[in-house]
Structure 1
Amino acid sequence: MVVIGILIALQVNNLNEERKREIKRQELINSLIIDFETSLTKSQESLKETDKLIKNMDLFSDLLQSKNQVSVDSLKSLATAFFRMISFEPSLTFYSQAKNNGDLELLESKDFFVKVNQFEDRNTMQKKLMDNFLQGYSTGYIWELRKSVGSINNLKKDSSSSFFWVQSNTETHQEYYDLMTSPLAIAAMQTHKVLNESLRFDLILLERLSNEILSILKEEKEVVK
């Protein structure tokens, strides 16, 4: 009877420990879902803004050489897109905490770890794109262009005012055209468009991976041990 009593006590203790572990696992899953839902929203917003920049870059290139001249202010407003890049920082507070304290071992899905590793790798790549963009202001084409024109503000317009599709002064328009079709300006604009297109690609993949990770987490949440 003593042995049986000990075995029953051990079984009850094991059940209690398993119950506590399951509660902790569900709390972890809920926290991770919050992380990746927030990151998904942020990546979608960044993608939307990046799409706007690329659209303005294409429109600028078309209008710059258009026979229907537009105001230089309008061109400068569009040209601002070449000197911007949308930063993206995922919200992974709970994930980082769980990774540091070893709580991720509560998850049994191997797919989760595969997808999260892919997410982290892709996020590292998009951060490098931002670093390349910023370096351009100190060592790259933008730096050379700044030395040539004196200030980037001579090429762009920071305020997002509405465009005025009006006939501009021919001489002023020609001067701006000559400035923006110089080899340095073309190199800088092409480089930054490529960087933004690469960022767009990364954001699309991050969005897809976030959705896949959320799907895995929600499936695991339904599995009650």
Structure 2
Amino acid sequence: MIHFFRRIRQKLLTENKISRYLLYAIGEILLVVIGILIALQVNNWNEERKQRAEEIEVLKSVRKGLSDTVAEFQFLNGIRNKVLYGTRGIFEEIDKGEVNKELLDSLMGLTFYRPTFNNKQGAIDLLFTSGKINLIHNDSIREMLLFWPGLIDDMVEEEGYATEMFMEHYYPAAAKYVNVDELIEKVLSTSFFGTEIEEERFSSLTFPNRYEDMFQDREFLNHLRMRATHMRITNGEIEELTLQAHHIIETIDNEIKR
């Protein structure tokens, strides 16, 4: 092809057709420019295709991370509901004015559960540390992901406060009246977490749980009631987070299908 154009130029120069040669030269330059532009456009298309493929992979990773988080939310809310069940049950037994030791042992054991969110947001954290958040072109998705860590932090803060109140107030108040060694054996030797756990007894000593005295202890009852409140607050925050996560996932799905 190069030889072909060269022969044309030589022929025009030999025939002294300067005007036609100039037109030809301009045409050749235009062809070169057009070729360069086409090459650049093809290169841009390839880059856009690569970026789109990477964006989709990032979105899929975020989607999976959110789905895993929602699954953990549901599991932890199940535990909190067990705590609430135990709390309500104890107050119901108090209202009855009767002491059913076996039932109260089980209910008290449920109030000892301490659900905690692991707060591992690998895919979303990576977006910010690696700068890959800029790969996401959908403004709505990007904005929701920017707000997501703050929403998680609010929930974790409330959860941490509930755990602090349990360790510093509720547990000491309850420990005055119950045999913790016995309760732990009953609580952990269940299938609630998916497997049977044979919890070891650390003492052969037995002493009665003093439920009648516990029911007269205003401090214990107040801490028990507040434990239920903390569980309900965190569950409410989790429900809002779950709705937000589902909304982000739905928006991501629509973006991937686009």
Judge same fold: TM > 0.5, yes or no. yes
Aligned to 1:81: 110
1:131 correspondence with 2:160: yes
How far has the Cα of 1:150 moved from its partner? 8.0
Residue 137 of structure 1 deviates from its aligned partner by 5.1
TM-score, normalisation: structure 2: 0.71
What 5-or-longer segments of structure 2 have no aligned partner? 1-30, 191-207
Match of 1:62?
92
SS of 2:137's equivalent?
coil
The answer to whether the 8 Å contact 2:136/2:142 transfers is no
Task: Sort the Cα spacing of 1:4 and 1:116 in 2 relative to 1 into closer, same or farther, 3 A.
Answer: closer
User: Could you tell me which amino acid in structure 1 is paired with residue 183 of structure 2?
Assistant: K
C-alpha distance in 1, partners of 2:54/2:91?
55
SS state of the match for residue 88, structure 2? helix
Residue 24 of structure 1, CA deviation: 0.5
Aligned amino acid, residue 239 of structure 2:
I
Letter in 2 for 1:15: W
Question: Does the 8 Å contact 1:83/1:192 carry over to 2?
Answer: no
CA drift at 1:72: 1.8
- The equivalent residue for 1:141 is 169
> What is the one-letter code of the residue matched to 1:221?
I
**Code of the aligned partner of 2:180:** N
Find the counterpart in structure 2 of residue 18 from structure 1: 48
**Equivalent position of 1:115 in the other structure:** 144
Matches of 1:70 and 1:210, distance apart in 2: 44
Do residues 53 (structure 1) and 80 (structure 2) align? no
Equivalent residue for 1:92, pick from 121, 137, 143: 121
**What per-residue deviation string (whole Å, max 9, x for no partner) do you get for residues 158-198 of structure 1?**
22379xxxxxxxxx68x412224302201211221111111
**Runs of 4+ residues deviating >6 angstroms:** none
Give the SS at the match of 1:198. Answer: helix
Larger radius of gyration: 2
Overall identity of the aligned pairs, in % = 17
AA at the equivalent of 2:257: E
C-alpha distance in structure 1 between counterparts of 2:237 and 2:113, whole Å:
17
Secondary structure at the counterpart of residue 65 of structure 1: helix
Higher relative contact order (CA 8 A, sep 6+): 1
Distance in 2 (CA, whole Å) between partners of 1:50 and 1:78 is 13
**Which residue, 162, 180, 183 being the options, matches 1:153?**
180
Q: In the aligned structure 2, how far is the partner of 1:89 from the partner of 1:209?
A: 19
Greater shift after overlay, 86-95 or 54-63?
Answer: 86-95
Cα distance change, pair 151–119 in 1 and its aligned pair in 2 (3 A): farther
Partner letter of residue 44 of structure 1?
Answer: Q
Query: Which residue pairs with 2:61 in the alignment?
Result: 31
Determine whether 1:3 maps to 2:33: yes
Partner residue, 1:193: 228
Aligned-partner residue type, residue 102 of structure 2: D
**What is the CA distance between 1:70 and its match in structure 2?**
4.5
CA gap of 1:181–1:130, structure 2 versus 1, over 3 A, is: farther
Partner of 1:104: 133
What is the total number of aligned residue pairs between the two structures?
Answer: 209
**1:59-112, CA deviations, whole angstroms, 9 ceiling, x for partnerless residues?**
121013314x35323212202333333112355212211221111112222322
Across the aligned residues of Structure 1 and Structure 2, the Cα RMSD in angstroms comes to 2.6
Note closer, same or farther for the CA distance 1:149–1:126 as it changes in structure 2 (3 Å cut).
Answer: same
Listed as ranges, the gaps of 5+ residues in structure 1 are 163-171
TM-score normalized by structure 1?
A: 0.81
Q: Report the residue type matching 2:173 in the other structure.
A: L
Counterpart residue type for residue 183 of structure 1: R
Q: State the Cα distance separating 1:21 from its structure 2 match.
A: 0.5
Q: 1:87 to 1:152 in 2, by over 3 A?
A: farther
Q: Which residue of 2 aligns with 1:205?
A: 240
Alignment partner of 1:71 is 2:97 = no
Q: Which residue does 1:165 correspond to in 2?
A: none
